């Protein structure tokens, strides 16, 4: 067994997708997100999605550009329970809905924050469409989610698996309802996370 493989098996070395980022000076930064308004869990009918609020905050604090992902033929229900049914069917079918993005060319970005709501313990299927279609090799991807109790739900590992050749930085899970009702809590969590990312050289200090 090779020395690196041996050390990896002992847990002495981090897996490749977890390698430290120090000395990898942050270049152009983008925040990509998918989010839904309408009726959402625990917050009633909202005019701006929870993840959209988090994404705007992250972009504001890092000076990053914002890129919204939307489904191309958007027939998603605006009511919570019917949306859950549609999303469950997409998950079961491993659907890859066509998408649009609000930034035309993302090739020049080096660090891409990627955020979405947790849907059935996973990324919404449209995000896999994005991961699989874009050329994200060589980029640093930084996952974040909003959720109603599930936490990060393996977003980091799933992102790394869907985007071979990228490097995935530590992610952040935010409680969806807090984005609407307790923005101070969200700001505190985002600040702590960005400081940690800055100490690893993923983003410049805030």
Ligand X SMILES: Cc1cc2nc3c(=O)[nH]c(=O)nc-3n(C[C@H](O)[C@H](O)[C@H](O)COP(=O)(O)O)c2cc1C
**Burial annotation 60-97 (CB, 10 A radius, 16+ → b, else e):** ebbebebbbbebeeeebeeebeebeeebeebbeeeeeb
Taking the least distance from each CB to ligand X, the nearer of 68 and 167 is 68
DSSP state of 138: T
Q: Backbone phi, then psi, for 157, in 5-degree steps?
A: -65, -40
Shortest spacing between CB 66 and ligand X, in angstroms? 14
Residue nearest to ligand X (CB): 176
Only one of the segments 16-24, 82-90, 134-142, 187-195 lies at the binding site for ligand X (rule: CB under 6 A); that segment is 82-90
Shortest spacing between CB 65 and ligand X, in angstroms? 19
143 binds ligand X (CB under 6 A): no
Size of the site for ligand X (CB under 6 A): 23
Q: Backbone phi, then psi, for 111, in 5-degree steps?
A: -120, 125
Q: How far apart are CA 25 and CA 150, in angstroms?
A: 32
Only one of the segments 36-44, 96-104, 162-170, 196-204 lies at the binding site for ligand X (rule: CB under 6 A); that segment is 36-44
The interface with ligand X within residues 165-184 (CB under 6 A) comprises 176
Taking the least distance from each CB to ligand X, the nearer of 24 and 150 is 150
The interface with ligand X within residues 52-71 (CB under 6 A) comprises 52
Torsion of CA 146, 66, 131, 78, to 10 degrees: 50
Which is nearest to 192 in space by CA: 65, 14, 58, 34?
A: 58
Paired residues of 31 in beta bridges: 66, 113
Shortest spacing between CB 140 and ligand X, in angstroms? 23
Residue count (the chain): 206
Site string for ligand X, 1-30 (x = CB under 6 A): ------------------------------
158 binds ligand X (CB under 6 A): no
Point out which residues bind ligand X (CB under 6 A).
Answer: 35-36, 40-41, 49-52, 80, 83-84, 87, 117-121, 146-150, 176
């Amino acid at each position: 067994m090779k020395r690196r493989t041996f050390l990896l098996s002992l847990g002495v070395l981090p897996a490749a997708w977890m390698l430290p980022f120090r000395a990898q000076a942050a270049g152009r930064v983008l925040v990509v997100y998918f989010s839904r308004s309408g009726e959402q869990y625990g917050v009633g009918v909202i005019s701006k999605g929870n993840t959209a609020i988090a994404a705007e905050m992250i972009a504001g604090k890092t000076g990053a550009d914002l890129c919204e992902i939307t489904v191309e033929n958007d027939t998603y229900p605006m009511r919570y329970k019917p949306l859950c049914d549609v999303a469950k069917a997409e998950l079961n079918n491993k659907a890859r809905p066509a998408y649009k993005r609000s930034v035309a060319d993302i090739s020049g970005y080096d660090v891409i924050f990627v955020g979405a709501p947790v849907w059935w313990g996973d990324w919404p299927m449209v995000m896999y469409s994005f991961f699989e279609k874009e050329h994200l090799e060589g980029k640093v991807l930084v996952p974040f989610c909003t959720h109603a109790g599930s936490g990060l739900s393996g977003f980091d590992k799933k992102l790394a698996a869907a985007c071979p050749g990228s490097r995935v930085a530590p992610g952040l899970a935010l409680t969806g309802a807090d984005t609407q009702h307790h923005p101070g809590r969200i700001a505190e969590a985002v600040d702590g996370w960005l400081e940690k990312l800055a100490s690893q050289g993923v983003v410049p200090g805030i």
